[in-house]
Amino acid sequence: MTADMRERLIVGLDVPTVREAEAIVRKLDDEVTFYKIGYQLAFAGGLDFARELAKSGRKVFLDMKLLDIDNTVASAVENIVKMGMTMLTLHAYPKAMKAAVAAASGSDLCLLGVTVLTSMDEQDMMDAGYEYDPHTLVLRRAEQARIAGMGGIVCSAEEASAVRRIVGPDMAVVTPGIRPAGADKGDQKRVMTPADALRAGASHLVVARPIVKADDPRAAARAILAEMATVK
């Protein structure tokens, strides 16, 4: 069961340099096979590193949260397909999702719609000018992603159960903001433990700081995988 969970645990390489990312991957060795690369590392040589990880047989979740005019989104997706990435995020705006789905057609790239960032709560949404509370907007965007033909959704584990009911059993539900019991929440406001997130309907868990900042990242990853494996 733990081996199966390696396909569902995504370690966020949220570090400032490729050298540090390489060190983490070495420490985790074959304990982890799936990694997320976001803005911080991407702009420090992380895109080339992402290609290297993919060539080595590891899976890569490229967290770029794309949003632009349709043609630009489509062109970006076409190039990302060529990189051999496993997952790619874009903001769940209907036109952007439609353009991305068309561009990725025939490939194995799983497109994920970002609903509402897990660092945002209701007050943050109001401050940004949204008329919906986080939960309502997440569900609205999940439905739009399903209609657009996206491969999955990124949402808080708190919304995973409701999202799963909307998108059905086949779409991925990827949940960041995962924190083992007793871990520091950091700047995340909507968090959940690994086991509870899986029970809520998540297909994949994104864990960064609790692993990459741990004194022993390998042991931290192993403990999370063991907790995940308790979920039937």
Give catalytic residue positions. 65
The answer to the question of whether 164 is labelled as a binding residue is no
The answer to the question of whether 72 is labelled as a binding residue is yes
Is 60:47 a contact under the CB 8 Å cutoff? no
Q: Which tokens in the block code for residue 180?
A: 């083992």
The answer to the question of whether 29 is labelled as a binding residue is no
Question: Which stretch of DSSP H or E encloses residue 89?
Answer: strand 87-91
φ, ψ (nearest 5 deg) of residue 130: -80, 145
The answer to the question of whether 40 is labelled as a binding residue is no
Rounded Cα distance between 83 and 107, Å, is 11
The answer to the question of whether 36 is labelled as a binding residue is yes
Rounded Cα distance between 12 and 19, Å, is 15
The answer to the question of whether 118 is labelled as a binding residue is yes
Cα separations in angstroms, 138 against 61, 121, 130, 144, 166: 21, 12, 12, 10, 11
The answer to the question of whether 48 is labelled as a binding residue is no
Rounded Cα distance between 130 and 141, Å, is 13
The answer to the question of whether 64 is labelled as a binding residue is yes
The answer to the question of whether 68 is labelled as a binding residue is yes
HEC string for 107-165: CCCEEEEECCCCCCCHHHHHHCCCCCCHHHHHHHHHHHHHHHCCCEEECCHHHHHHHHH
Question: Which stretch of DSSP H or E encloses residue 34?
Answer: strand 34-37
The answer to the question of whether 17 is labelled as a binding residue is no
The answer to the question of whether 144 is labelled as a binding residue is no
The answer to the question of whether 175 is labelled as a binding residue is no
Show binding-site residues: 14, 36, 63-72, 118, 179, 188, 209
Show binding-site residues for substrate: 14, 36, 63-72, 118, 179, 188, 209
